[in-house]
Every structure is written in structure tokens, then in C-alpha cells.
Chain A
């Protein structure tokens, strides 16, 4: 059986999408699979939308970027950002989305109300499988607001949307993250998986 999985990770600058894509790439490399990823870098610190493209396959991969309708898995660090990327998700794909929104930094200008419920509604009705994760609650439980990235990765793995076991991702965390943060991240992974 051939393995091909395209993953799109969508969030807001500062939410840690790049680490999530690095961990998946590490797990893929350790499993002897081909992997290409591509990041938005530059405006990341300043509250803009950021997207990581991750492509994993058991055969060679040409392009590092996803095409519309080609993502199997969409991980939304923010529900509105997941909606923005729906164009990339294939019908029947899987969405793992954080429940909490990040208000746009330009709220002072737009003056329009931004409703996370409306965004989650669109995710629910788009023709894909949806897993909603209460990111705030889980981060509070493990005691770090910055663990959202790994929490969502755990949830995606548990939903069968990554092709990697928690053990494989744990190994990727050990190989990637600085030693003093390894435990915290592994707890985050399991908290996400249980959710």
C-alpha cells in the first residue's frame, strides 16, 4: 500500500506552526519516508497568517507546496485560519482545529465582530471530518500557553490524520526540542491525543 499524506498547518504568527511541521518532518525522516515542507517566513512575528505545507510519501516528492484540493489533513491553530485554507483540503479530508480564536490585530480598524462559532460552523459543514480541540483548556492543564502546537499534533495523531504513532512523535520531539522542554512537549502530545 502506498503512503502519501499532505498536511497543511495554518495559524497566526507566533503560534508555533513551524515546530509542528518540523516534528512531522522528523518523524517522517526517521520512518524512512520522503518529506518536503515549506513555510511562510518573514512576517511571522507580526500577527499575520502563517501556513506550513508538509508532504510525506513513500516515493519521491517533487513540489514542496500543496495545491488546492490536495491536503488530506488540515491542522488549524485558529479556526478562522483553518477556514482560510479550506481551498486546499480535499473533500473527505480531516480537520483538527483549535476551538479558540485569535482576534485579528487590526481589530481597531475593521470594527467587525469576529465569531469563532461561525468559523467552526464552516469547518463543520465543509464536507470534511472535524475534530475540535479545546486548546486553551489543554494548555492550562499542562501549564503552558505555548504548547498548543504539540497538543494539536497529538490530537491529529490520535485522529489517525498523521500516519505516525505517538511513540514516533515522541522520538521526533526528543530529537528536535531542547532537552529542558522535552517533558513538557511530551505531556502536551499526550494531552492532545486524549482530547
Chain B
């Protein structure tokens, strides 16, 4: 996997400290470093991306090579240290891996980290394949150290989650032991920033010049027509050109592996004698704008086409198909749509939609149900946050009215409450999100006397991104057991007067706890911690079954949305292969139609 290649590339380059916060499609990088740790690499899931970047900055000041991993929106959280660190610089090489997600396949935005790098004035590497990602890692560390600057490394989902054989070098680069040398250069002050700003502006063109000779930026072909591209789109272009075949006219091809600072000399050579260029990019038109600027500067008579001209889609990911059509249009060639097997007669049955849902037995389902039932008669608003529990928005639960970005549930609830004080405002937040960016919001609500209910959905893991540990779980990536940080104690310490912990899988007791919290919120922040583990970190319980004779109302089917419960011949029915034995449907059933069966033992096959 591309992410494993990145991790192994960093290990081979002698990385000493690796920090990060999970996020698809980046999460497997840090996990791989921890699994393949040759010993001596400090690996940690930090509480958030800002913290991760700052921990790594300290280690780099002392001379260690460091890597920080996150998904693209994580860089927004780390923006403050990032922009300042660009001015201060590093001693040990620092590579910040930020995975972008065209589509988006599993992200809130389609932001482009290349644009972020431009803004932060940092060099950026943009690998096109797992093999290249592996090899480029060493180049990124070298460059970082030679210029004393953090470097951004930004693969996209198809590189992160693509697999290919990669030859791995067995030799690790030895690193001299690091130590911090005191120097005024580590203390940011306006005067120093002014001087460093000048240094950065002078240094960037030098790096750009070096990039013009970097072999992974490649220029090939001849002609008055040209294509420029980057990343995974270069693979799509290779396929598209092969598909279009011999009819493709002579053309030049530029692949940009380091979009910032732009390899201007190479690009000038590329534009020489060219009349029309098609720029095939995903996310922002970064190369397109650079080429337009260059054409303007050099007064070159060339049309630069791409997203701006409508030749390339502005949003979503490119595909071989979309690129083939774009190239055919550009070259004036016909494209025959590929023959396939999907044709079906009018009215043929279609496969069912499968939106992601909370797992069977997910404790979040029980928590939402308890709040929903308890608040049936009271005006309430449910602010959600980011994690598996965002899926609580789906019907029949329908319990997420807002969702913005990590940590924003608690703060958005405050804003809503200020405007509409007669409603009860709930903020649902996962345990990992609580530690990530939830705590400042709670402090803000307490201090500013906002009456909201904070519901912490503590499932003892960071489930959405594959069950990483966090400060509440008590295990670290170094294989050590740490003292757990207790969420209730944190809430009490910041002044929340009503803090109650309960098991959401005890429906009646949970409903009563919700009502107590809602009442307490008339007089300041009230907190309710629903504590029950994610099914992926707890063993399954016994399986449940429905007695069809007794089943009359199907309220479990209609109100719970548990994927194990189906409707068969007008009665609820439980699929034993899916049921996790959470017991909630049994507690809901007014007719005692649900009971337990002894679990069948089934073997495991997964490695």
C-alpha cells in the first residue's frame, strides 16, 4: 500500500520521531512505522494535528528527522504552527505528510494541500505511485535538511490506498544522536520574522531551480501541442494515450512532481514552441495557474487550457475515462465509449443503495435512541460532530442536525443556544474528538455561562478511522500502558457542575440520565458521558432472535435502524450473522418477542 511505502521510506531515511493524528486516507502511515519500528523511533498518535506538528518541530530543532502525518483538513488545525515554522525552520529534516482526497471519498472538503504549501511558502512533493512515494521520501528529507525548511509531502487517496510491489532497501541511514543547541534563531520575533521572510523569498527560487533538474519532474516529446499533469493523473494519461492510440498527434508531456516552488526553468523549456497546453489536474488548478503566469511573464503565445477553460472538471476525482475524453477533445479525436455489460432492459431491477450505517450493536445507536426518546416532548436541537456518530443523522434515528468540523459540535450548540434560549441544545462528541478539539469549547461554554448539554459518546476508541488509541484508552503506539485520562474528571476540573456517566445500553436508565442532564442545563453546562465500547474493541455478546408469533409492532425495525434487524413477512427478524448482542432491541420490544439464543461458534479466516 502507498501508505506503507511512505512509512518504509521514512524509516529508510532515518526518521527518529513520527507523530500524527488519524484521518483517511493517511492513517496507515503511522501505524506502519509503529509495526515496523526497527527500534528507537518515537511514534505517537498525538491528540490533534497542531500538537503533532509542534512535537515534531521540537524534535527537529534538536536535530532528529521527523515525520508528521494527517489528512488534508488536519492541516487546517495545524496551520498556526505550520506558518510560523516555515519562518523559523528546522534542523533535523521534517516531512509533513498530508493526504489529499479528491472526490472527496471520505472528507469534509476537497482542499488542495499544494495550494496550502504555496500559502505557507513550503516546498511540496506530489508522488504519483507507491513506488515513487517510497523513493521520494528520502529526497524530501534531504531537501528539508539542506534548506532547513519543513517539507510537505502530499499523496492523494489513489496513491495512499493503491498497492504495488516496491523494492525496499535493507540499509537504514545512520543518524548522529541529536541534541538541542540554544540559539536566538528558535525564538520568533517580528524582527527575526522580517529577516526570515526575506530569506525564504530568496530561497524559494533557488529550490525551484533545483527542482527544474529533479529527475522526477519530467519533460518528454515534441510538438506544438502539450499536456501537463501531476500525481495519479499521470498514470491516467498514460492509459488514455494508449487507448487513443496512433491517432494522437505529436505532443510534449510535462509531469510536475514538485509543484512548489515551481520548476520554472523546466516549465519554460516545456512551453517553448508550444501553441496549446492542456493541464490535467485534480483539486486546484495549481500547475495551470503557474503555466499561465509563466506564459504571461515570458509573453509566450500559448493557450493554457484546463479547469479555467472548462476542459477539466473543477471538482471530483479524475478517472482514466474523464482524462481520455478530455485528451480526445483537446486533440480533436473521436472516442468510442467502451463496450461493457451494464445494459439492461427498461425497468430492470437495480441493486439496493448501501449508505454507510452504524454497525449492528453500535453503542452510538443506543445513545441517540435514549436522547431521542427522552426529549420527545421538548424542543431540542442536536449538534453533531465528526466520527462514526455522524451516521446518527440517517433515518430512522435522525439525530444530527448540524455537523461542521472536528470539535465544532459543542461550540455551534453555544451559538444556537444564545440565539434561541428556550430550546435544549445537545452537543454530541466522540471521545477522540473530545480530546482533539472538544475541551476548549467546553471551557468556553462554562466560562460564558451557556446552557447546553454536552453528550460525550465514549466508545473507548477512535472508531471512524480504524480504532486508534487516544488519551482515554490508556495505550500508546510505543506499546506502553499509560494512565488513562478520565473524561469525567476533565469535565469536572473545567467547572462543569453536572457530570454523569452511564451505560447507553441500559435504555431506561439512560433516558432518565438524559432528562436529568437536560434539566441541569437550565443552569449551566451539563455533561453526560455515555460509556460503552465500539463493537470492534469489545467481544460480541450472545445473539438475539425474534419470536414471530409474538412480534406485532416492528418498532425495533422502524425506530432503531439496526442492520441486523430485517422485516420478513411483516415481522421483525434478526440476522444471527450480524447481531452483536447489544440488547437494545429486546429492551424496546413491548411484546417480549425478542430473546437471546446461544451464540454459534464460527471460525475465523481473516489473517
Contacts and interface: CB of A to CB of B under 8 A. Distances in A.
Contact of A65 (B105, B319, B604, B606): B319
A83 B602 CA distance: 29
Chain A interface size, as a band, is 35 or more
Contacts of B355: 48, 105-106
A181 B158 contact: no
A36 B162 contact: yes
B340 A110 contact: no
Interface string A31-65: 00011111111110111110000000000001111
A1 interface: no
B372 to A, nearest CB: 15
A122 to B, nearest CB: 6
B605 A150 contact: yes
Nearest to A117: B349
B193 interface: no
A42 B352 contact: no
B357 A67 contact: no
B391 interface: yes
Nearest to B238: A62
Interface residues of B, number: 63
B161 A188 contact: no
Contacts of A86: 340-342
Given A29-B165, A35-B164, A43-B106, A110 B565 contact: no
A64 B341 contact: no
A104 B239 contact: no
Given A67-B319, A126-B342, A43 B163 contact: no
Nearest to B27: A41
Contact of B356 (A43, A70, A181): A43
B599 to A, nearest CB: 12
A68 B566 contact: no
A103 B566 contact: yes
Given A45-B359, A110-B352, A144-B603, A36 B164 contact: yes
Interface string A99-114: 0000111111111101
Contacts of B239: 62-63, 67
B349 A145 contact: no
Contacts of A104: 352-354
A184 B163 contact: no
A126 B563 CA distance: 30
B66 interface: no
Contact of A69 (B163, B164, B338): B338
B536 interface: yes
Given A46-B359, A107-B566, A126 B341 contact: yes
Contact of A184 (B158, B324, B605): B605
A89 B340 contact: yes
A67 B325 CA distance: 12
Contact of A38 (B163, B359, B395, B602): B163
A63 B567 CA distance: 43
B493 interface: no
B245 interface: no
A80 B351 contact: yes
A144 B607 CA distance: 14
B321 A37 contact: no
A41 B558 CA distance: 29
Contact of B341 (A12, A29, A36, A128): A128
Interface in B120-156: 129
Contact of B607 (A19, A29, A81, A143): A19
B561 A146 contact: no
A108 B558 CA distance: 6
B473 interface: no
A137 interface: no
B83 to A, nearest CB: 29
B358 interface: yes
B25 interface: yes
A67 B321 CA distance: 6
Candidate in A47, A93, A105 with the most chain B CB atoms within 10 angstroms: A105
Interface in A118-135: 118-119, 121-122, 125-128
B530 to A, nearest CB: 19
Given A68-B321, A84-B351, A144 B605 contact: yes
Nearest to A104: B352
Contacts of B162: 36-38, 64
Interface in B362-408: 388, 391, 394-396
Contacts of B353: 104, 106, 110
Contacts of A63: 232, 235-236, 238-239, 320
Nearest to B561: A108
Contact of B354 (A48, A147, A149, A185): A48
Contacts of B519: none
Contacts of A89: 340-342
A48 B356 contact: yes
B423 to A, nearest CB: 27
A40 B25 CA distance: 10
B339 interface: yes
Interface of A: 12-13, 16, 19, 21, 25, 29, 34-43, 45-49, 62-65, 67-70, 80-81, 83-84, 86-91, 93, 103-112, 114-115, 118-119, 121-122, 125-128, 143-147, 149-150, 176-178, 181, 184-185, 188
17 contacts: A12-B354, A46-B388, A47-B354, A48-B355, A63-B320, A68-B337, A70-B338, A86-B340, A90-B338, A93-B341, A105-B355, A115-B349, A118-B348, A119-B349, A125-B344, A127-B343, A146-B602
State the 5 A-B residue pairs at the shortest beta-carbon distance, nearest first.
A69-B338, A105-B563, A80-B351, A118-B349, A144-B603
Given A48-B356, A122-B348, 11 more contacts: A25-B163, A47-B563, A67-B324, A67-B338, A105-B357, A105-B563, A106-B354, A115-B349, A122-B344, A146-B604, A181-B605
